[in-house]
Structure 1
Amino acid sequence: MLNDEKTIYLVDDDDDDRMIISQAVHQLMGNVNIIEFSSGFEFLDRVLGQQPSQQTLVLMDINMPRVSGLEVITAMRLDPSCKHLPILAISTATDPGLIDKLIASGASGYFEKPASFEQVTQLANDINDFYVSHYR
């Protein structure tokens, strides 16, 4: 589907959240291809059955209409082309039970959505650290 450049699929129904996260990640990571999706349904329609590049990471919002992030993660883990793709769940939810369920469903990690500039910077650093440690 894509070549072997750094690719991040950013799936979030909130336009502002996608813009803020995308800008922060671009500033920190530089040359990274961020492909944005405004819904879990749109993401699944485009990605399931496709072979992603070797250096792809998914940032998945959890609370979305129609198809939740948890449902998307579950569907990805059932698809042979996506089942090993790293997924970082992002959400305003802080319920430990939900976070445990996300990890059990196949999320590689969980980060709370940023509410301040400092938190946006920290999220970008966390994403970069995960990316670097996963794709050494």
Structure 2
Amino acid sequence: MGAKANKSIFLADDDADDCMLFEDALREVSDSTELITANDGVELISLMETTVPPPPDVIFLDLNMPRKNGFECLEQIRNTKAWERIPVVIFSTTGQEEMVRKVYQGGANFFIRKPGSFPKLKQAIKQVLDIDWNNYNWKLVPENFYYQY
């Protein structure tokens, strides 16, 4: 059975400009994908509690957010039975090796450093949307975990 046409993405990011850019890029890559944004980790978890199931196809998660940061969200998602299998893509301006290692060990599926240009942002989103998460074993190839455009 092929992937469903309509995907659902959650984006947790406290930067309103980044959220708008992400949405614009997503619309150019896929007009059938629903985007739901949260301004911080507390809002994301609240959103998850009220809307899952059905789970989103993927969560894009910024690390540096007020109230509850991306590390705390990732830990809560991975420790919640109903959410533990939802793919989580860390989407952050930081590319520090220590941070990348920490979220890899914490169970994130992918780490994308926020691209500096709109075409690269579109490329990053398309790459994630094209992944068949049911058949993607990211733990086998840790060097494929971190993408910098």
- What SS does the corresponding residue of 1:48 show, helix, strand or coil? helix
* Structure 2 match to 1:42: 43
TM-score (norm 2): 0.79
What is the CA–CA distance in structure 1 between the aligned matches of 2:19 and 2:61, rounded to whole Å? 11
> Does the 8 Å contact 2:55/2:83 carry over to 1?
no
What is the CA–CA distance in structure 2 between the aligned matches of 1:27 and 1:123, rounded to whole Å? 12
- 1:70 maps to a residue whose letter is F
Is 1:74 matched up with 2:75?
A: yes
Q: Taking every aligned residue pair, what percent have the same amino acid on both sides?
A: 26
What is the CA–CA distance in structure 2 between the aligned matches of 1:135 and 1:26, rounded to whole Å? 24
Is 1:26 matched up with 2:27?
A: yes
- Correspondence 1:86-105 to 2 at 5 A: 86-105=87-106
Deviations 1:21-74 (A, max 9, x none): 111112112201100111111111121375332652100011111211011000
With over 3 angstroms needed to count, the CA separation of the structure-2 counterparts of 1:25 and 1:100, relative to structure 1, is same
Provide the alpha-carbon RMSD of the alignment.
Answer: 2.0
Is 1:58 matched up with 2:59?
A: yes
Higher relative contact order (CA 8 A, sep 6+): 1
Unaligned runs of 5+ in 2: 136-149
TM-score (norm 1): 0.86
What is the CA–CA distance in structure 2 between the aligned matches of 1:30 and 1:87, rounded to whole Å? 21
Tell me whether 24-33 or 70-79 shows the greater mean CA deviation: 24-33
